[in-house]
Amino acid sequence: MSEEVSKRETKNPMEKIRIEKVIVHISVGSDWDRLQKAAKLLETLTGQKPVFRQAKKTIRAFGITRKRPMATMVTLRGEKAIKFLKRAFEAIENKLKASSFDEFGNFAFGIPEHLYIPDTKYDPEIGIYGMDVIVHLSKPGRRVKLRKYRKSRLGKRAMVTREEAIAFVKNEFGVEVV
C-alpha cells in the first residue's frame, strides 16, 4: 500500500503531504508557579512565546475550577516545526505506535521528561516536565475547506489518510511505526 501512496504523491503535486503545524502542550494543573516554569521551558525549547489554556469546566475532586489556567502550549509552523519534530523523535528513539495515528492522518505522542530531548540540560529552577506533541498533516488544497469566502467540501483524495501519514513519517523522518 505504501508504494502505491508514494507513486500517487509524485504524480500529482496537490497530493504532496506537508506538516501543517506541530503543537507542543504541557499540562500541570492549577499551580500557577509550576505553570510559569512550564511556559519558560516551552519558550527555551521552541523559541516561541507560549500561551496559557484554561479549564473548560469545574471538577471539584481534582481541585480544578472553570476558567483557571491549567496548561501551556505553543504552535510551531514551517521550519521551526520540522526542527523541533526531529529532536522530539530522537527523544522517543524514533519509534511511534500505529495507534498514535488517527483516520485523518494526524498523530500525537508523549515525551515523559523534557530531558530526553537532545541538547537539553537540567535546570533546578524549572524542574522536570513531560509534554505532548501533536502533529497535523495536510495537503495543499485543504484551504478550500477552511476559508471564509466560497467554502467548499474536500474530496477523499484531498484528505490525508492514516496509511499516507504513516508512509510520510517513515520516509521523511525515518521513524519506525510499531
CATH of the domain at 72: 3.30.1440.10
**Residue pLDDT, tens place only, 32-62:** 999 999 999 999 999 999 999 999 999 888 8
Buried b (16+ CB within 10 A) or exposed e, 34-54: bbebbbebbeebbeeebeeee
Res. 95: pLDDT tops 80? yes
User: Domain count of the chain?
Assistant: 1
Lowest mean pLDDT among 63-77, 87-101, 144-158, 159-173: 144-158
Specify the residue for cell string 522517543: 92
pLDDT score of 105: 87
Domain that holds residue 87: 2-177
**Residue pLDDT, tens place only, 133-173:** 999 999 998 888 889 999 999 888 889 999 999 999 999 99
